[in-house]
Amino acid sequence: MTATPSSPSSSAASAASSASSASPSASAASSSAPSAALPSASAASSSASSSAPLSPAFAPIERPRRLRTSAAMRSLVREQALRPADLVLPMFVREGAGENRPISSMPGVVQHTMDSLVRAATEAVERGVGGLMLFGVPEHKDALGSGASDPEGVLNQALARLRSELGDSTVIMADLCLDEFTDHGHCGVLDEHGRVDNDYTLTRYREMALAQAEAGAHLLGPSGMMDGQIAAVRDALDAEGHLDVALYAYTAKYASAFYGPFREAVGSSLQGDRRTYQQDPANGREALRELELDVAEGADLVMVKPGLPYLDVLREVAEASPVPVGAYQVSGEYAMVEAAAASGWVDRDRVILESLLAFRRAGASTVLTYYASEVAGWFAGGLPDHLREFL
């Protein structure tokens, strides 16, 4: 009788039956062996994190962090640094003041008396600042800003006093604008329609420039944004033999809300706004046109104002300019840092230095800042460890 071959299903069933008939001890050994040989996923993860390095799935080829591994390494490769000589200190002097008057919106900044101006200026120069920019606050104003060109006016008297006291040990600078001296607060003379008369204002700027040069200013800062102001002032200075008096053109000065505290600092009488002569905050290309004109007219240095909100403009001007470029960290920028620091929201000292470094990184050779003397003092006395990265 021929045997019938078993089917695959019957073979599988037979194997399963054999396995089930195995002794209980064998089954237990079989089920417990894998548990003893392989740890659980959570146990493996814990063990790896505590005793064995992880095996990365990917290793980068480029490692920029190598150049950030220590303070010494970061210092070695640092692209920009600050120095006191890069900084210019704006200062306010008030006519007839018997004592300093604090400026409420700019904590730490004052309207100086003539004597306190000399003391503060001398201290700043001893600390190593690069220059001093003076602004006058007169007792009396008129439509033409007559005090601006008066040799006995507060600004010209302050220039003469500082030049006598400090000589050529620093660069004494004068703001060349009528706004502090006019009863309407504009940077020029108004016509019969109440508009700023550009060309008549240039005549006043020429007179003002001569008065400042004769008082002893090394450098004048025409800041009124009148068309042709650099050419007009340069011509007037050269005609009277002031060939070495330099011009620091306010090339890109924007009609900005960041000037608010400055208006208090100079006792501004402004009526209306300055949008018909200062630049529109929306425009960048326009700054390059102003740069081209100022350089052609004889500017020795050029400036962008305000500072941090216009770093893009500063960079473009710096890349295009054949002369040194500066930036003005204006009153509103200063006030915001002070307010935030007073509330404990920022590290004041680091924010100050980081903001100044931003101007240098964007291309500024000089920075006008109300922090100039204070920062120069930090450098002179040695920066604490947490600020040494700014050396």
Residues marked active site are found at 253, 305
Greatest alpha-carbon pair distance for the chain in Å reads 142
Q: Which two tokens stand for residue 134?
A: 């003076």
Nearest to 336 by CA among 111, 135, 107, 112: 107
Q: Are 178 and 189 in contact (CB under 8 A)?
A: yes
Q: Are 301 and 248 in contact (CB under 8 A)?
A: yes
Rg, the chain, Cα only: 35
Q: What is the 3-state secondary structure (H, E, C) of 84-111?
A: HHHEEEEEEEECCCCCCEECCCCCCCEE
The rounded distance, in Å, linking the Cα atoms of 18 and 6 is: 16
Q: Are 375 and 84 in contact (CB under 8 A)?
A: yes
The rounded distance, in Å, linking the Cα atoms of 238 and 89 is: 27
The rounded distance, in Å, linking the Cα atoms of 368 and 264 is: 18
The rounded distance, in Å, linking the Cα atoms of 111 and 91 is: 8
Angle subtended by helix axes 348-362 and 311-320, to nearest 10? 30
Q: Which backbone phi and psi does 110 adopt, to 5 degrees? A: -135, 160
Q: Are 111 and 94 in contact (CB under 8 A)?
A: yes
The rounded distance, in Å, linking the Cα atoms of 250 and 234 is: 14
Q: Is the CA virtual torsion 307, 310, 315, 317 positive or negative?
A: negative
Angle subtended by helix axes 348-362 and 372-381, to nearest 10? 100
